[in-house]
Amino acid sequence: EAGVAQSPRYKIIEKRQSVAFWCNPISGHATLYWYQQILGQGPKLLIQFQNNGVVDDSQLPKDRFSAERLKGVDSTLKIQPAKLEDSAVYLCASSEGTGGAGTGELFFGEGSRLTVL
Amino acid sequence: GENVEQHPSTLSVQEGDSAVIKCTYSDSASNYFPWYKQELGKGPQLIIDIRSNVGEKKDQRIAVTLNKTAKHFSLHITETQPEDSAVYFCAAKEVRTGGFKTIFGAGTRLFVKA
């Protein structure tokens, strides 16, 4: 079974520039998540999609971050304009569902490492 | 909302020794507690989990315990091996309207010295 695919793996940009990250979840997984992992910290949820609808984007800095999941499969996370503090690894994860009686185990991609200079 | 605290931030053990990582959570409604292992350059991977109706669970060299009253849970790794070296994250699943949210601790970097 193919895992969660992310690209690019690495990106270096200047502050105020824009960047986009792409994620392809595990086939059949209804829920897709974008997490931000700053060096030395645990993953922090930015946005959660159920199919192509947003379940939770309460911690997404909406003045500069945007995300979409067209057709309920692939997703793109965009940052515009980037700030120095956006330097982090952006992890995409997927799960079969959001929980209920199940666990909603998260399957993570390898992440996209962003450096903002 | 849920808050998960994890200790220690760094742990160094000799190969063959045991390692223990402890976490506390704040929301008594949380009912699922997974542990993830993150190797360098990779995403976190689930290694074991425990539901709130169970006090202990074991899988080979790894065990988790849960104390609901005290709101803390722990990961125990016995007979540690160099390949256990990684960052370990505890997490709690927050029950809320519209779905569930997994909140992660800050992580423990485990070094196993050969």
Residue B97 has what pLDDT?
Answer: 58
How does pLDDT run along chain A (117 residues), one tens digit per residue? 689 999 999 999 999 999 999 999 999 898 999 999 999 899 999 999 988 889 889 999 999 999 999 888 999 999 999 999 999 999 999 988 655 445 678 999 999 999 999
Q: Are the beta carbons of B43 and A108 separated by less than 8 Å?
A: yes
Instruction: List the structure tokens of B39.
Output: 């190797």
Strand runs labelled E in chain B: 4-7, 10-14, 19-25, 32-38, 45-51, 56-59, 62-67, 72-77, 86-96, 99-104, 108-113
Q: What is the pLDDT of residue A108?
A: 96
Instruction: Give the contacts of A109 (CB within 8 A, at least 6 positions apart).
Output: A3, A4, A5, A6, A23, A91, A92, A93, B43
Q: What is the pLDDT of residues B5-43, one digit of tens each?
A: 999 999 999 999 999 999 999 988 888 899 999 999 999
CB contact under 8 A, B99 and A109: no
CB A107 within 8 A of CB A99: no
**CA distance linking residue B3 with residue A7, whole number of Å:** 30
At residue A101, the pLDDT reads 46
pLDDT at position B94: 73
Closest partner CB to B99 (pick from A99, A103, A110):
A99
Inspect the interface and report whether the beta carbons of A42 and B105 lie closer than 8 Å. Answer: yes
Residues of B in contact with A43 (CB under 8 A): 44, 89, 104
- What angle (nearest 5°) sits at the alpha carbon of residue B30, between those of residues B11 and B78? 30
Enumerate residues 6+ apart whose C-beta is below 8 A from A39: A88
Q: What is the pLDDT of residues B89-102, one digit of tens each?
A: 999 987 655 567 88
Spatial CA neighbour of B51 closest among B93, B11, B102: B93
The answer on pLDDT for B2 being more than 90 is: no
pLDDT of residue A64: 97
Is the link from the previous residue into A8 a cis peptide, with omega within 30 of 0? yes
- Is the bond into B8 cis (omega within 30 degrees of 0)? yes
Reference A45, options A67, A12, A22, A63; nearest CA is A67
* CA-to-CA dists, residue A72 to A46, A75, B4, B12, B70, angstroms: 18, 8, 31, 43, 40
Contact flag B43-A42 (C-beta cutoff 8 Å): no
Does B32 contact A111 at a Cβ distance shorter than 8 Å? no
- Write the pLDDT tens digit of every residue in B60-112: 999 999 999 999 999 999 999 999 999 999 999 876 555 678 899 999 999 99
Q: What's residue A102's pLDDT?
A: 53
Q: Which of B43, B93, B103 sits opposite A109 (nearest CB)?
A: B43
Judged by CB atoms closer than 8 Å, whether chains meet at B101 and A48 is answered as yes
Choose among B98, B100, B104: nearest Cβ to A42: B104
Q: Which of A4, A43, A104 sits opposite B100 (nearest CB)?
A: A104
Residues B3 and B102 sit within 8 Å (Cβ to Cβ): no
Q: Say what the pLDDT of residue B106 is.
A: 96
Structure confidence at residue B53 (pLDDT): 84
Residues in A touching B36 (Cβ below 8 Å): 106, 108
